[in-house]
Amino acid sequence: MRVLALALIMALLAWFSMEARNPVRDPDVWWHLAVGNWIAEHHSVPQVGIFSRTAADRPWIAYSWGYEVLLSRAYSWFGLMGIAWFGLLVTLAVAAVLFWMCYRLSRSFWIAWVVGTVGCFAYLFSLMPRPVFVSMAAYTILLGLLIEARQKGDLPKLYFVPPLFLLWANLHIQFVYGLCLLALFTFVTGLEHFCEQRELSFRWLPPPKLSFSGTLFVFAASVLACCIGPYFFRVFRVGLEYANSRVPYTFILELQPPKFVYFTDYFLLFLTISGFVVLLWKRRFDLFSATLLIVTTISAFRHSRDAWLVSISAALLIADALKRTPGGEDRFSPLELAATFAVVPLLLIGVAKSTDFYPRELDRAISYDYPVNAANFLRRHPLAGPIYNDLNWGGFLIWYMPNYPVAFDGRTDLYGDELTGIIARSREGDYASDPILRESRLILLHKGLPLAAALARDPEFRPVYEDQISVIFVRTN
């Protein structure tokens, strides 16, 4: 029953991902793929804004370079299906890590299965497969290790943390979230020791079980581990740039609060409330857990992109609160694990057949979301650039039409608030003061944009191509 339950939830998650064609529908996956190809070809990492004509000379860090190389190799070896299966396996890996950590903390298969399932539906489909999925898995492992070490006073368990950050920092920029989590953990440990030394007793602050000096050493080693990579300490600059940016939060949907139009938003709300109920239900208030849940809740409900932060935090805290007493563990045997690894691939193959998860249907999904036909028109009838493109299509054009350097793409850290503000205003039809549009001779837009309707009325621009989703304009003078 346990093998069947675990295999079925993995198959259900795979069905949602395959049916929606998530691995190939994310606008960012294409520029990640192009960067990975560039790194593999040049055997180095980029230092400036490659592929862009408006920010080609600006400093830029490929903060997900490790993930991008893996994605590039998957495409090189297996083509479009390589991208699709890579994204699917990353999705299932995130789910497996959450279940595994819930199981370690709760010591019960069925508690882990229920909590893990709710957790997956709370955040796993709020984003499409991209490097942030690495952060989801790494954050889950990190928080699980911290909870275990805090309960048992097992400092050696934290010695796995610096190597985790070494890997994490070369795969995705949100390792900074992990450092913030570790900093909170270190601060609370130090506060416990401070109160104990001064014989201060608080109900919400238990006696320390970990050495503060040892915890501080783990934190310092983790910070240094993040600097081991091709960009060294400069990788922290990306985090500062994102923290200081403002304009992207005004019009990019995933950077705005949850709208409660998708079922995942309600799973998120339920799991968050459950996390607070569990904290209040526990007899001893825990400063670390309470602070973590409050901070991650604020972050998740300000930006839907960060829904995974509170989902993972709440799921692990719930699993820990519901753990079985020693001796009552519900052990998942090696035989059951082997059976699961044998059954899941067979189910995935069946799900792929039932959802037509094959190149033809993936091509169709890509053509539905991206200007494939318009790009093919430009391949057959090359027109003089420079090109002005829809922001959401920039990543795809980088990969599919490399001979036309894009005006914009999804790398908002490269373009900064000034250029991103220009994009936002022009998309709404206010393009009179757009210097990038003025110098462009070729414009490729989604036909539903207000800018496309405005240019259709402007005698300076003439439409030369139009299909169901896209329109191409050329400048008449």
Q: What is the Cα 108 distance to its own chain's centre?
A: 29
Q: Indicate the length of the chain as a whole number.
A: 477
Secondary element (H or E) of residue 461: strand 461-466
Strand pairing report for 442-446 and 387-389? parallel
Q: What is the Cα 47 distance to its own chain's centre?
A: 22
For residues 433 and 269, what is the distance between their CA atoms, to the nearest angstrom?
42
187-207 as b/e: b if 16+ CB within 10 A: bbbebbbebeeeeeeeeebbe
Mark residue 58 as left, alpha or beta (left: phi above 0; alpha: psi -120 to 50; beta: remaining).
beta
pLDDT at 203: 67
Strand pairing report for 442-446 and 470-475? antiparallel
Strand, coil or helix: what is 474?
strand
Residue 411 DSSP symbol: -
For residue 474, which amino acid is it? V
Q: What would the two tokens of residue 391 be?
A: 């922001």
Neighbour count for residue 256 (Cβ, 10 Å): 15
For residues 258 and 271, what is the distance between their CA atoms, to the nearest angstrom?
14
On the 0-12 / 13-18 / 19+ scale of CB atoms within 10 A, 185 is buried
* SS3 of the chain: helix, strand, coil, percent, to 5: 65, 5, 30
Q: Do the Cβ atoms of 420 and 413 come closer than 8 Å? A: no
DSSP per position, 63-117: TTHHHHHHHHHHHHHHTHHHHHHHHHHHHHHHHHHHHHHHHHHH--HHHHHHHHH
Q: What would the two tokens of residue 146 be?
A: 């911290």
First to last CA, the chain: 71
Secondary element (H or E) of residue 464: strand 461-466
Q: Which residues contact 187 (CB under 8 A, 6 or more apart)?
A: none
pTM over 0.85: yes
pLDDT at 400: 94
For residues 215 and 359, what is the distance between their CA atoms, to the nearest angstrom?
50
Q: How far is CA 117 from CA 20, 99, 263, in A?
A: 19, 8, 14
Which pairs with CB-CB distance under 8 Å and at least 24 residues apart come from 332-339?
Answer: 332/2, 332/103, 332/109, 336/2, 336/3, 339/3
For residues 113 and 315, what is the distance between their CA atoms, to the nearest angstrom?
11
Q: Which residues contact 199 (CB under 8 A, 6 or more apart)?
A: none
pLDDT at 247: 78
For residues 170 and 175, what is the distance between their CA atoms, to the nearest angstrom?
9
Comparing CA positions, the residue from 243, 220, 223 lying closest to residue 233 is 223
Side-chain half-sphere exposure of 88, counting CA atoms within 13 A: 26
H-state helical runs in 153-174: 161-168
pLDDT tens per residue across all 477 residues of the chain: 889 999 999 999 999 999 999 999 999 999 999 999 999 999 999 999 999 999 999 999 999 999 999 999 999 999 999 999 999 999 999 999 999 999 999 989 999 999 999 999 999 998 999 999 999 999 999 999 999 999 888 899 999 999 999 999 999 999 999 999 999 999 999 988 888 787 777 666 777 888 999 999 999 999 999 999 999 999 998 888 887 788 777 777 787 888 888 888 999 999 999 999 998 887 667 889 999 999 999 999 988 889 999 999 999 999 999 887 766 667 778 888 899 889 999 999 999 999 999 999 999 999 999 999 999 999 999 998 899 999 899 999 999 999 999 999 989 889 988 888 888 899 888 888 889 999 999 999 999 999 999 999 999 999 999 999 999 999 987
Secondary element (H or E) of residue 46: none
For residues 122 and 362, what is the distance between their CA atoms, to the nearest angstrom?
26
For residues 84 and 87, what is the distance between their CA atoms, to the nearest angstrom?
5
For residues 210 and 213, what is the distance between their CA atoms, to the nearest angstrom?
9
For residue 103, which amino acid is it? Y
pLDDT at 208: 82
